[in-house]
Amino acid sequence: MSKKPLILGIESSCDETAASLVTENDVGKPIVLTNIISSQVDIHKEFGGVVPELAARSHVEKIDLIVKKAIKESGKKIENIDAVASTAGPGLIVCLSVGLSFGKAFASSINKPFIAVNHLEGHAISPKLNSELNFPYLLLLISGGHTQYVSVQSLGNYKRLGTTIDDALGEAYDKTAKLLGVEFPGGPQIEILARKGDSEKYKLPEPIINKGGCNLSFAGLKTAVLKITKTIKNEQDKFDLAASFQKTINKILYKKTKIAFNEFEILNNPKEKVFVIAGGVASNEGIRSTLISLCKKNNYKSIFPALDLCGDNAAMIALVGLEKFKSKKFSDLDHPAKPRWPLDEKAAFLKGAGVQLK
C-alpha cells in the first residue's frame, strides 16, 4: 500500500481562521482528519459586517494556534505533511495575506511544496468530501460574496453560465436581516423568522426574472424590503416579510436554475445530470428543498456539501490541495494574494451600472 498524501489546508479569506488535515483512502476517497474553524462573529457583530482590519488582526493572532490544533488533533506529526495549501483569493487582501504568508513560510520550513488555492474552487468541489462527484456537473455557488451558475468541466476548467449582476445572495440575506434589525450575520436568522411568517403577505420584485438568461439580480429586493420595513408595525409583520423574502428567493432560483439546466445540457450533453449547490447559503433549508424538488422533476441528481462544510472551512482548501498535489500542480512562493480571482477567467465582468442583458 503506497503512502497517501497528507495535506495541510489553511483558510483566512474573510472572517474565519481555519486549518484542516486531509488525506485519502485506498480508493481515492478524501478523508478529513481535522477541520478546525475559528469564527470572528463576535468581533464584527457590533459593526454589522466584517471590518477588514479587525479580521486581519484576529487571523494574525490565531493562525498558529489553529494550525497547531489541526495537526495535534489529527494524530499526525508535522513531518508527515506532504504539502501546504492556502487560500490565495478571492477575498479581503489583508485577510488573504495572513493565511497565504503563513502557508508559504510553513511549507518552506518543512521543505515541502506550497499550493495556492482559489477559495471558489474549494466551494466548487467541497461536496466531494461527503459524496461521489464526477465531471462535468452544474454548480450553483451561493455565498456571501459570490452567486453564479458554473459548468464544472474538470478541476481548473470552468465555464460560467450566469452570475449576479449586483448583490451576492448571501449579501441580500444579510442586508435584509439588517433592515429587519437582526444581528450580523443575519442570513441564517431570516430562515428562522420566515418559519413563523405568511409568505403571501408582501409582494417583492423578482429582478431580471424574464431576461438575462441565468444571470441574477438581488439589489431591487433590498430596496423593496427597505420600503416595507418603514410600514412594519409588529413582530408578525417582520416574520411575514422574512417569509415573503425567502419565498421570492426560492422562486427566482427555481426559474433561473431551469434556464441553467438547459444551458448546461446544451454545452455538455451529459450522460448523468448532476447539480451541485455549494457555499454558505446552501445550508438554507428552504433553498435546499426548492432545488431538490426541481431536480427530481428534471431528472437531476442534487448534491450539497454536509451542513458544516457549506460555510468557509479549510477542509475544502486542503481537498483542492490534495487534487493539485496528485497532479503535481505546485505554486511558487511568490504567488500573489488575489482579491479578485474568478473561476472562469474568460467570463465577462457583469457587475455595476451599464450592464446590458438580453
Question: What grid cell was written down for 162?
Answer: 450566469
**Does 174 participate in binding ligand KG4 (rule CB under 6 A)?**
yes
Using CB under 5 A as the binding rule, whether residue 87 contacts Zn ion is answered as: no
Q: Do residues 101 and 95 touch, judged by C-beta distance below 8 A? A: no
342 is a contact residue toward ligand KG4 (CB under 6 A)? no
Closest CA to 43 of 56, 29, 54, 32: 54
| Binding of ligand KG4 by 336 (CB under 6 A) | no
The 294-313 site mask, x for binding ligand KG4 (CB under 6 A), equals: -----------------xx-
Q: Is 143 in the site for Zn ion (CB under 5 A)?
A: yes
Is residue 283 near ligand KG4 by the rule CB under 6 A?
A: yes
How many residues sit in the footprint of ligand KG4 (CB under 6 A)? 18
Nearer to Zn ion, 112 or 146 (CB): 146
Q: What are the Cα distances from residue 224, in Å, to 205, 245, 248, 305?
A: 7, 10, 12, 32
> DSSP states of 28-48 as a string?
S-EEEEEEEEEE-HHHHGGGT
Q: Could you give the CA distance from residue 281 to residue 185 in angstroms, rounded to a whole number? A: 12
Verify binding: residue 99, ligand KG4, rule CB under 6 A: no
Q: Most distant CA pair in the chain: distance in Å?
A: 68
Among residues 144 and 162, whose Cβ is nearest to Zn ion? Answer: 144
Beta carbon nearer to ligand KG4, 112 or 178: 178
Shortest approach of ligand KG4 to residue 147 CB, angstroms?
Answer: 10
What the block records as the C-alpha cell of 107 is: 511549507
Residue 121 interface partner, choices ligand KG4, Zn ion, none, CB cut-off 5-8 Å depending on type: none
Shortest CB 279 distance to ligand KG4, Å: 4
The listed partner (Zn ion, ligand KG4, none) that binds 188, CB under 5 to 8 Å by sort, is ligand KG4
User: 241, 250, 231: which is closest to 201 by C-alpha?
Assistant: 241
Residue 352 to residues 166, 169, 181, 338, 356, Cα–Cα distance (Å): 6, 16, 27, 20, 10
Residues that bind ligand KG4 (CB under 6 A): 14, 143-145, 170, 173-174, 185, 187-188, 191, 279-281, 283-284, 311-312
Residues that bind Zn ion (CB under 5 A): 143, 312
